[in-house]
Structure 1
Amino acid sequence: MRLPVSGLLILALVLAGCGRIRESRLNPFNWFGRSQPAAVAVTEPAVPGRPDDPRILVAEVTEMEVARQPGGAIVRAAGLPPTQGWWDAALVAENNGEPVDGVLTYRFVVDQPRGPARVSTPQSREVTAAAYLSDIKLANITQIVVLGAGNSRSSRR
């Protein structure tokens, strides 16, 4: 059965309008992209606002992703400390979790091993940490940065 000319015209207009959705914040594929390496300028080993926190920045941030969840997103990062045995990993938000010019920054901190530690393989040393962000908090965020001692990774939308 053939579509009338008006039906084809309407179908063409609807399909052409779908291209604009790609730029919308409603499009789940237009969310935070893959993380990219970013320059790091970190001077303090302690977590700001928590002088009693003995944790230090992870040596290298190897990966970072922002995964959409109902009601918000989960920021997950993996890091590589110099040896095995590092623990108590966490993403600690800077500026009390408030974005600065649309950029929310996390410090990826870990606690030192409690005894002698082996170097072994990178896979056996990897640590992971995550943080949840609500949709309300995400409304003002255009970029998320995770800082390590030697590098940082960022993801923007």
Structure 2
Amino acid sequence: MVSICALLAGCGGGGGSGWNPLGWFGGGGQRGPQTLEPKGGYARTDQRLAVPQVLSARWEPTVEGRLLVVTAIAPTKGWWDVALVTETPQPEGRVRPDANGVLRLRLVGSPPLSDDRSARLPAQPGPDTITVAFPISAAALERIDSVAVSAGNNGIALKV
């Protein structure tokens, strides 16, 4: 028993002893990253364009929080893949306001291809209105004072 204690006491020395189990798998040395955020921050990879004009925004209640519903219109028919995205790139499913408590969103979408017939037809305010929604949990709403939605030519803000 005494020999085991002596062996373990020798392992705990501050030197570079290979007998120390804390150093066997990189332990005790340099620590891993302190955050999961990639070096240089989250890159914006979304290539969609800003939808030119937001018309209105409103809140709809949900079981988990609220749904931000935004209506907009584009200059031509055929815009697709329209969505609200955070102004500053964030991990999927995370919603974080800026230092002033404002959640900043951009209204983006993909215009029709130039050879598509829709690209030459002007949008009509009634049938070609675009509606998108952005869910925000009750937990995230506690940190948000207001939401600002920016479009290509204008924007809109709502209090929470």
TM tier relative to shorter chain:
0.5 to 0.7
Larger-Rg structure: 2
Give 5+ residue unaligned stretches, structure 1: 1-47
Q: 2:76 aligns with which of 56, 78, 83?
A: 83
Letter in 2 for 1:128: T
Counterpart contact for 1:84–1:124, Cα < 8 Å: no
Match in the other structure for 2:44: 50
Counterpart contact for 2:148–2:157, Cα < 8 Å: yes
Letter in 1 for 2:117: P
- Is it true that 1:152 corresponds to 2:155 in the alignment? yes
- Specify which structure has the higher proportion of helix: 1
SS in 1 for 2:126: helix
Letter in 1 for 2:53: E
Cα RMSD over matched residues?
A: 1.6
Alpha-carbon distance in structure 2 between the residues aligned to 1:132 and 1:122: 25
Per-residue Cα deviation, 1:74-122 (whole angstroms, up to 9, x for no partner): 0110111000000111000123231011100110001111313211421
The structure whose RCO (Cα within 8 Å, separation 6+) is larger is: 1
Aligned length: 109
Letter in 2 for 1:111: S
Identity over the aligned pairs, expressed in percent? 28
TM-score, length basis structure 1 = 0.64
Match in the other structure for 2:26: none
Per-residue Cα deviation, 1:4-28 (whole angstroms, up to 9, x for no partner): xxxxxxxxxxxxxxxxxxxxxxxxx
